[in-house]
Amino acid sequence: MEESIRTIAVYALPVLFAITLQEAARGYAARYFGDNTAHAAGRLSLNPLAHIDIWGTIVIPIVLFMLSGFVFGYAKPIPVDYGRLRNPKRDMAWVALAGPAANFIMAVLWLILGALLVFFQVGEEFPNRVAQAGIITNLLIMAFNLLPIPPFGGGQVLISVLPHRAAYAFSRIEPYGFFIVLGLALLGVMKYWLAPVMTVGGYLVQLAATPFTFFLL
């Protein structure tokens, strides 16, 4: 129990920022492409408190971790009216990709923080574990966001690039997307998507951070 509490403390901030700021990124992207719905709802904020869902951001991740060691959650979805985008079919892809892009940037920042801790010889275990957790958490959530199943970001990108008739047919599975992913997770096949995406993502994160870490490590 003590180790579980310690692990929850390590992952608390990384999970909070990873889940909430990727939603904020989607809101900013939607506004850039013409939809002010999130702005009107007061959701264009980098403050994680504005995006917390008590169940999805706090209760469910903790319960899942306590029961299985697996952490997954969600923030309050950013309201997006795709009909208000200047080019709805094209721009919805950019809005969808804003979330994974935010997670990628956060992973880079956590990696740089970890390098700074090493550079300044911070030997305490806790901050170093938090930095490592920040990288892993953001890579995991980025991989989930890129799932080619609506309503996940990868699914929205597919809807954007498919021909209209195929896009409409594919979009009809959106209400069942979470159940499909849950089924895939229970069958143990999610790792065949998550592992390679996280591996490639980790390599790109290291590459992006190299101009900073080169002088620190």
pLDDT in tens, the chain (217 residues): 667 677 778 888 898 888 888 888 999 999 999 999 888 877 777 777 777 777 766 776 666 666 655 566 667 778 888 889 999 889 999 999 999 999 999 999 999 999 999 999 998 899 999 999 999 999 999 998 999 999 889 999 999 999 999 999 999 998 998 888 878 877 888 889 999 999 999 999 999 999 988 887 6
pLDDT at position 208 is 96
Report residue 59 as tokens.
């209760």
pLDDT at position 69 is 58
Please report whether residue 217 resides in a domain: no
Please report whether residue 87 resides in a domain: yes
Domain span at 77: 2-211
pLDDT at position 46 is 73
Please report whether residue 216 resides in a domain: no
Q: Residue ranges of the alpha helices (H) in the chain?
A: 2-32, 37-40, 60-68, 88-119, 125-145, 153-161, 164-171, 177-186, 191-213
Q: Are 35 and 82 in contact (CB under 8 A)?
A: yes
Please report whether residue 116 resides in a domain: yes
Please report whether residue 118 resides in a domain: yes
pLDDT at position 33 is 94
Number of domains within the chain:
1
Please report whether residue 70 resides in a domain: yes
Enter the pTM of the model: 0.89
